């Protein structure tokens, strides 16, 4: 059994990287605009369906559908942000919960109407199937691909936030929107940009997750708890915090299920409560 620990750890990292990709957008939305957007999973689902339709009906190869999913998420995010979300930034968190849950219910029903209740098949290209032997350990090819893509995205995100002017503007707005506005930063545009980016990332995450999570209309509700876990444990608004939290939760969830399947579910929930109580601000407070 212990022989496969590296394999299990790798699975955890792959699972964590998927959680990160989908929830990083939510983390920034909640951190930047402190808007509790429970409908964030719906953007991931939209990305998933765009990828599934492109692949199954239009015959576009899987890898090529990823940018499409990213764009679809961005467009959906941009439209919804300007039409609906923008009016609710100053509303109470409870109104935001009511609004986003309502939106989620609509997205679930709409997806059922258009795509039917069943789940979408995805046919991965051959080079992503099966296993690859790396340093004596069998690693899932698709999971390797996942970890690679997500690490690239994470690096790009962290670098752009740290290095570029736009990144600085976003970080300023995250810390204090009023002060940032005082400096002449058009916080409204920054919100829109970030929300769109967050939705696009989530859509990309949705497309990448079909193979692991499966894709059916109830996706946004089914994994809502996992996305919230990452955001709150990681500390909303922090990319590094979300990355750390995703990895911790991913690894421990997989390890828990492998070694102690009977109490597997408790591991995650117990961990979340413990982490939250240790540092209410989440890992971001620790990571700083």
Partner 1 sequence: MSAAGRVPDARWRPAELVFWAAAVAVYFVFPHHLVLASQILITGLFALSLDLILGYAGIVSLGHAAMFGSGAYAAGLLAHHGWGEPVSGLLAGGAAGAALAFATSFVALRGGDLTRLMVTLGIGLMAYEVANQAASITGGVDGLSDVAMGKLLGLFAFDLGGRTAYVYSLAVLFAVFCLSRRIVNSPFGLSLRGIRDRSARMPALGAPVSLRLTAVYTVAGGIAGIAGALLAQTTQFVGLETLGFSRSADLLIMLVLGGAGWLYGGMVGAAAFLVAQDLLSGMNPVYWQFWLGLLLVLAVFFVPGGIVGTLAGAQLRRLEARR
Partner 2 sequence: MNVPRIAFAFALAATLIAARGAPAAEPLKIGVIAEFSGPFAGYGKQMHNGIKAFIRQHGDTVAGRKVEIILKDTTGPAPEVAKRLAQDLVTQDKVDFLAGFGLTPNALAVAPLATQAKTPMIVMNAASSVITTRSPYVARLSMTLPQVTAPMAQWAAKNGIRRVYSIVSDYAPGIDAETTFAKTFQAQGGEVVGSVRVPLKNPDFAPFVQRAKDARPQAVFIFVPAGEQGIAFVKAFTERGLREAGIKLIGSGDVVDDDVLEAMGDATLGVITTHHYSAAHDSPENAAFKKAYAEANGTGSRPNFMAVAGYDGMAAIYAVAKKLDGKIDADQAMAALKGLALQSPRGPIHIDPETRDIVQTVYVRKVERTKAGLYNVEFDRFADVKDPGK
In whole angstroms, how close is the CB of 123 to partner 1 at the nearest point? 28
> Under a CB-based contact definition with an 8 Å cutoff, are residues 219 and 213 in contact?
yes
Place of tokens 């499966």: 214
Q: Which is nearer to partner 1, 142 or 213 (CB)?
A: 213
Task: Tell me whether residue 46 or residue 229 sits nearer to partner 1 (CB atom).
Answer: 229
Based on the shown chain and the rule CB under 8 A, indicate whether residue 108 belongs to the binding site for partner 1: yes
- Options 58, 125, 155, 269; binder of partner 1; rule CB under 8 A: 269
Among partner 2, partner 1, none, residue 103 binds (CB under 5-8 Å by kind): partner 1
Query: 59, 118, 136, 184: which one contacts partner 2 (CB under 8 A)?
Result: 118
**Residue 236 engages partner 1 in binding (rule: CB under 8 A):** yes
Residues paired with 132 in a beta bridge: 139
Provide the Cα torsion 183, 185, 188, 191; round to 10°.
-110
Contact by Cβ (8 Å): 66, 208: yes
Q: Which is nearer to partner 1, 225 or 286 (CB)?
A: 225
Q: Of 11-19, 87-95, 123-131, 177-185, which segment contacts partner 1 by CB under 8 A?
A: 87-95
Task: Tell which one of 106, 155, 159, 183 touches partner 1 (CB under 8 A).
Answer: 106
Tokens read off for 47: 């990305």
Binding residues among 7-26 for partner 2 as defined by CB under 8 A: 7-8, 11, 15
| CA–CA distance, 155 with 158 (Å, rounded to integer) | 5
Element of type H or E holding 192: helix 187-213
By CB under 8 A, is residue 101 in contact with partner 1?
yes
Residue 73: closest CA among 28, 113, 41, 115? 41
End-to-end Cα distance, the chain: 37
The interface partner of residue 113, options being partner 2, partner 1, none and the CB cut-off 5 to 8 Å by kind, is partner 1
Among 84-92, 122-130, 144-152, 166-174, the segment contacting partner 1 (CB under 8 A): 84-92
Q: Does 136 bind partner 2 (CB under 8 A)?
A: no
Among 228, 239, 244, 287, binds partner 1 (CB under 8 A): 228
Residue 139's DSSP bridge partners are 132
Calpha distance 287→234 (Å, rounded):
9
Site for partner 2 (CB under 8 A): which residue of 264, 271, 276, 279?
A: 264
SS3 annotation, 99-119: HHHHHHHHHHHHHHHHHCCCC
56/52 Cα distance (integer angstroms): 6
Please say whether the beta carbons of 33 and 195 come within 8 A.
yes
Q: Kindly state the smallest distance separating residue 131's Cβ from partner 2, in Å.
A: 5
- Under the criterion CB under 8 A, does residue 88 sit at the interface with partner 1? yes
**The one segment of 14-22, 54-62, 129-137, 266-274 that binds partner 1 by CB under 8 A:** 266-274
């Amino acid at each position: 059994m212990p022989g496969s620990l590296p394999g299990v750890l790798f699975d955890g990292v792959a699972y964590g990287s998927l959680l990160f990709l989908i929830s990083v957008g939510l983390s920034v939305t909640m951190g930047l605009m402190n808007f509790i957007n429970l409908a964030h999973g719906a953007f991931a689902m939209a990305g998933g369906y765009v990828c599934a339709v492109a692949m199954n009906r239009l015959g576009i190869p899987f890898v090529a559908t990823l940018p499409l999913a990213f764009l679809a998420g961005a467009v959906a995010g941009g439209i919804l942000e300007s039409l609906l979300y923008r009016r609710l930034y100053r509303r109470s968190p409870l109104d935001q919960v009511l609004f986003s849950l309502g939106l989620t219910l609509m997205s679930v029903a709409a997806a059922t109407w258009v795509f039917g209740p069943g789940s979408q098949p995805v046919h991965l290209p051959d080079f992503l199937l099966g296993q690859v032997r790396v340093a004596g350990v069998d690693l899932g090819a698709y999971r390797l691909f996942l970890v690679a893509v997500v690490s690239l995205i994470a690096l790009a995100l962290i670098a752009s936030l740290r290095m570029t002017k736009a990144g600085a503007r976003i970080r300023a707005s995250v810390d204090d929107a009023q002060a940032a506005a005082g400096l002449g930063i058009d916080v409204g545009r920054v919100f829109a940009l970030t929300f769109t980016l967050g939705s696009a990332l989530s859509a990309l995450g949705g497309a990448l997750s079909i193979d692991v999570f499966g894709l059916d209309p109830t996706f946004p509700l089914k994994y809502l708890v996992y996305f919230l876990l990452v955001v709150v444990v990681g500390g909303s608004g922090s990319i590094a915090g979300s990355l750390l939290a995703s990895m911790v939760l991913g690894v421990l969830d997989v390890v828990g299920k492998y070694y102690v399947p009977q109490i597997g579910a408790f591991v995650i929930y117990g961990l979340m409560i413990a982490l939250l109580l240790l540092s209410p601000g989440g890992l971001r407070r620790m990571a700083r």
